[in-house]
């Protein structure tokens, strides 16, 4: 039904039915994307049901990022009442796909870091108009971890004493995030939302999925990029990219943060983000029937575990992972037969290889 409505809307936009439409991608929300092709060009149509998605935010934030000099899709037409939108087409090659086939990571991440700094430097006025990434939001996000992953997915009771002992850890993570300078935060600045671009599609990278932007912590988007839930890099490489980002930020006057404080903010911000992501991945399966993200949980939990080992304030989290989460995950992985339609739990213990640079 929605697809038929979208086709009728596109026919009105083009003044003809002479176009081809095919699925382009889907994401973790209710939005769907279609590539619309005519002999002379292609576009991306967005289907965002108005009772579930706020397309007005997408339109407004696309304008903000465009003004900041970021390569985002150009909006040609939209209909807020129906929830349809027609964008320029930035192509189909994501950073993730390119990196998995041997693309030059140094070049791609150099461009991504430069673009992130451009956002923080030139979109600061717009940041003030965005929702605040406040303590209430930070805590709501972290609660997805005990509610959906620990409770719903692994069956760990909410009153489990080690789970209750995580409250001081959540306090530390909130305090660290709130102590940071406030900037324009994309919120999903990672390899699945960055497009390899060039030529007619504009400067690299093309940036997608920005409609949930907020005014929030300085290191949030950086940790999304460098400790990506979908592709992992050796710690020495992450450290090098961190040094590059901080040096460029100092040069541009974006920040004068001391190196030790910057690293602590980055690490703790990553724990907050990754706890949220793990909870969302579990929720996508149990609530929405989308199992594909379960395979990304071990990699994401691995980031949390590594940082928890490095900071004494996070010791309760390290103990909880070692004594409760990892054994529970291995029990799931040992299930010989899954129920019909349920993804194999073996994927839960296989994060895939860490990427090494050539």
Average pLDDT over residues 57-81: 95
Does residue 38 sit in the same domain as residue 129? no
| Tens-place pLDDT, residues 246-264 | 999 988 887 778 899 999 9
Give the pLDDT score at 358: 42
Cis peptide before 131 (omega within 30 of 0): no
The domain that holds 141 is classified in CATH as: 3.90.1200.10
Tell whether 355 is covered by a domain. Answer: no
pTM, 2 dp: 0.91
Q: Which residue has the higher pLDDT, 308 or 252?
A: 308
Tell whether 344 is covered by a domain. Answer: yes
Tell whether 49 is covered by a domain. Answer: yes
Instruction: Report whether pLDDT(1) > 60.
Output: yes
Give the pLDDT score at 336: 39
Confidence of residue 13 (pLDDT cuts 50, 70, 90): very high
Domain boundary among 62, 88, 114: 88
Average pLDDT over residues 201-211: 90
Beta bridge partners of 74: none
Average pLDDT over residues 215-221: 97
Q: Which residue has the higher pLDDT, 27 or 191?
A: 191
Give the pLDDT score at 87: 95
Give the pLDDT score at 37: 94
The domain that holds 69 is classified in CATH as: 3.30.200.20
Does residue 280 sit in the same domain as residue 176? yes
* Torsion sign over Cα 33, 210, 212, 193: positive
* Torsion sign over Cα 59, 60, 62, 67: positive
Domain boundary among 70, 88, 106: 88
Average pLDDT over residues 263-270: 98
- Would you say 29 and 192 are in contact if contact means Cβ atoms under 8 Å apart? no
Percent of the chain with pLDDT over 90: 82
Tell whether 357 is covered by a domain. Answer: no
**Residue 356, φ and ψ in degrees, nearest 5:** -110, 140
Indicate the Cα dihedral angle 53, 56, 57, 63, nearest 10°: 140
Q: Which residue has the higher pLDDT, 120 or 335?
A: 120
Does residue 138 sit in the same domain as residue 27? no
Average pLDDT over residues 222-244: 97
Average pLDDT over residues 2-24: 93
Does residue 295 sit in the same domain as residue 319? yes
Mean pLDDT, all residues of the chain: 91
Percent of the chain with pLDDT over 70: 91
Confidence of residue 355 (pLDDT cuts 50, 70, 90): low
| Tens-place pLDDT, residues 92-112 | 999 999 999 999 999 999 999
Does residue 59 sit in the same domain as residue 130? no
Give the pLDDT score at 179: 96
Give the pLDDT score at 39: 86
Lowest mean pLDDT among 12-26, 130-144, 340-354: 340-354
With 0-12 / 13-18 / 19 or more C-beta atoms within 10 angstroms meaning exposed / middle / buried, residue 61 is buried
Does residue 148 sit in the same domain as residue 39? no
Tell whether 217 is covered by a domain. Answer: yes
Distinct helix (H) and strand (E) counts, the chain: 15, 9
Does residue 179 sit in the same domain as residue 328? yes
Give the pLDDT score at 337: 47
Does residue 119 sit in the same domain as residue 84? no
Domain boundary among 39, 71, 88: 88
Does residue 104 sit in the same domain as residue 230? yes
Q: Which residue has the higher pLDDT, 334 or 231?
A: 231
Confidence of residue 52 (pLDDT cuts 50, 70, 90): confident
Provide CB contacts within 8 A for 357, sequence distance 6+.
105, 106, 233, 237
Confidence of residue 348 (pLDDT cuts 50, 70, 90): low
Give the pLDDT score at 338: 55
Domain count, the chain: 2
Tell whether 354 is covered by a domain. Answer: no
Tell whether 356 is covered by a domain. Answer: no
Give the pLDDT score at 26: 62
Tally the C-alpha atoms within 13 A of residue 77's C-alpha that lie toward its C-beta: 14
Q: Which residue has the higher pLDDT, 341 or 282?
A: 282
Does residue 200 sit in the same domain as residue 312? yes
| Tens-place pLDDT, residues 151-193 | 999 999 888 999 999 999 999 999 999 999 999 999 999 999 9
Instruction: Report whether pLDDT(223) > 50.
Output: yes
Domain with 25, as residue range(s), is 2-88
Distances (CA, A) of 207 to 28, 69, 109, 115, 197: 17, 11, 13, 9, 10
Does residue 119 sit in the same domain as residue 70? no
Tell whether 277 is covered by a domain. Answer: yes
* Integer Cα distance of 192 and 98 in angstroms: 10
Name the percent of the chain in helix, strand, coil, to the closest 5: 55, 15, 35
Instruction: Report whether pLDDT(35) > 90.
Output: yes
Average pLDDT over residues 303-312: 98
Does residue 71 sit in the same domain as residue 100? no
């Amino acid at each position: 039904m929605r697809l038929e409505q979208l086709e009728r809307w596109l026919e009105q936009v083009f003044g003809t039915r002479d176009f081809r439409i095919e699925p382009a991608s889907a994401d973790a929300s209710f939005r769907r994307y279609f590539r619309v092709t005519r002999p002379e060009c292609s576009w991306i149509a967005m289907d965002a049901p108005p009772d579930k998605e706020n397309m007005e935010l997408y339109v407004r934030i696309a304008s903000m990022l465009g003004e900041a000099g970021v390569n985002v899709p150009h909006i040609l037409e939209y209909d807020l009442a129906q929830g349809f939108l027609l964008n320029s087409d930035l192509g189909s090659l994501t950073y993730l796909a390119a990196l998995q086939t041997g693309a030059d990571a140094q070049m791609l991440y150099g461009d991504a870091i430069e673009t992130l700094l451009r956002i923080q430097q030139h979109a600061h006025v717009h940041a003030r108009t965005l929702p605040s990434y406040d303590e209430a939001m930070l805590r709501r996000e972290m609660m997805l971890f005990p509610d959906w992953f620990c409770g719903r997915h692994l069956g760990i009771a909410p009153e489990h004493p080690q789970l209750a002992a995580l409250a001081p850890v959540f306090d530390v993570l909130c305090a660290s995030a709130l102590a940071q300078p406030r900037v324009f935060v994309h919120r999903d600045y990672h390899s699945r939302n960055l497009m390899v671009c060039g030529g007619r599609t504009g400067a690299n990278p093309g940036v997608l999925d920005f409609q949930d932007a907020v005014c929030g912590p300085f290191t949030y988007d950086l940790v999304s990029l460098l400790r990506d839930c979908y592709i992992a890099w050796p710690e020495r490489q992450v450290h090098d990219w961190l040094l590059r980002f901080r040096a460029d930020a100092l040069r541009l006057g974006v920040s004068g943060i001391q190196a030790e404080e910057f690293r602590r903010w980055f690490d703790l911000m990553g724990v907050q983000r990754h706890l949220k992501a793990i909870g969302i991945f579990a929720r996508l399966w149990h609530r929405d029937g989308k199992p594909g993200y379960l395979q990304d949980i071990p990699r994401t939990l691995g980031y949390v575990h590594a940082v928890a080992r490095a900071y004494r304030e996070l010791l309760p989290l390290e103990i909880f992972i070692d004594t409760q989460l990892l054994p529970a995950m291995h029990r799931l992985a040992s299930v010989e037969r899954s129920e019909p339609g349920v993804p194999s739990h073996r994927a839960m213990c296989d994060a895939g290889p860490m990427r090494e640079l050539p």
